[in-house]
């Protein structure tokens, strides 16, 4: 049993959907005198632990920010290393996720990713499509502004084809990468930074936020459980009195 899980088990104020900005991998490695990619590999291992803890903690949906549209500005060595980590993670975790009831999906623009990675992403999405124990969404080459631009273009095409006469919020939401998924109740950012970094700007409009100084490779299921406990004390009014 993960410590703290009992405090959020009644479901009265339990976040159904948790989104995480997994920050601090490179800093974690640098502080230890190691290459930044060591931190990213440790971060990938941490994802596996958090994914396994979520169902026990009552979380049905988990979205993690793995690679942003701005991360292409990093060194070629780091970007190529990250892409290799993504490929290995998908290859070696596919069967485990399928057997553990995890459904894996990806959001973000895929056209800039190499074909092998795109094929792996599509294959594991199909392999886990029927799973319901946990819905895991990984944001790769994702940026909120980019998503909104792409969604607006899709919506404009529907309007031009005469499929929609008077577009509303629901029509735009249906064109987002996250169409059909619930909005996050809680967004967590690790490493002490207090920015949202272009992550789910539409979906997280009424999310609660938690910023922790813990670097992502050090973020344990116990840390998550403690944050969920604190979430239960919040009064969410969604603009009401």
What residues are annotated to the active site?
Answer: 23, 71
Q: Which is nearest to 19 in space by CA: 231, 171, 176? A: 231
- Is 131 annotated for ligand binding? no
- Is 146 annotated for ligand binding? no
Burial class (CB in 10 A: 0-12, 13-18, 19+), 129: exposed
- Is 207 annotated for ligand binding? no
The CA-CA-CA angle for residues 55, 48, 210, to 5°, reads 70
- Is 191 annotated for ligand binding? no
How long a stretch of residues is the chain? 241
CA contacts within 13 A on the Cβ side of 49: 16
- Looking at the DSSP assignment, which residues form a beta bridge with residue 105? 137
- Is 56 annotated for ligand binding? no
- Is 197 annotated for ligand binding? yes
- Is 141 annotated for ligand binding? no
- Is 69 annotated for ligand binding? yes
* Other beta carbons less than 10 A from residue 64's beta carbon: 21
Q: Which residues are annotated as a binding site?
A: 23-28, 36, 40, 68-70, 72, 74, 189, 195-197, 208
Q: Which residues are annotated as a binding site for Mg(2+)?
A: 23, 208
Q: Which residues are annotated as a binding site for substrate?
A: 24-28, 36, 40, 68-70, 72, 74, 189, 195-197
């Amino acid at each position: 049993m993960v410590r703290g899980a009992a405090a959020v088990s009644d479901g009265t104020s339990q976040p159904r959907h948790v989104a995480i900005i997994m920050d601090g991998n490179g800093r974690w490695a640098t502080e230890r005198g190691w290459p930044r990619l060591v931190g990213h590999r440790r971060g990938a291992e941490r994802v596996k632990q958090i994914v396994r803890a979520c169902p026990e903690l009552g979380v049905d949906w988990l979205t993690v920010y793995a690679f942003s549209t701005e991360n292409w500005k990093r060194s070629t060595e780091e970007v190529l290393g990250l892409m290799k980590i993504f490929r290995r993670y998908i290859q070696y975790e596919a069967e485990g996720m399928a057997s553990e009831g995890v459904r894996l999906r990806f959001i973000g623009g895929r056209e800039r990713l190499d074909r092998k990675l795109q094929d792996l992403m599509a294959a594991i999405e199909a392999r886990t499509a029927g799973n319901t124990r946990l819905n895991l969404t990984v944001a790769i080459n994702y940026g909120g502004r980019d998503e909104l631009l792409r969604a607006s273009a899709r919506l404009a095409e529907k309007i031009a084809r005469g499929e929609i006469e008077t577009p509303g919020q629901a029509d735009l939401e249906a064109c987002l990468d996250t169409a059909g998924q619930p909005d996050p109740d809680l967004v967590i950012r690790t490493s002490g930074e207090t920015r949202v970094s272009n992550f789910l700007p539409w979906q997280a409009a009424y999310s609660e936020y938690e910023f922790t100084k813990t670097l992502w490779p050090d973020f344990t299921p116990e840390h998550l459980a403690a944050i969920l406990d604190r979430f239960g004390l919040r009064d969410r009014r969604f603009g009401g009195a």
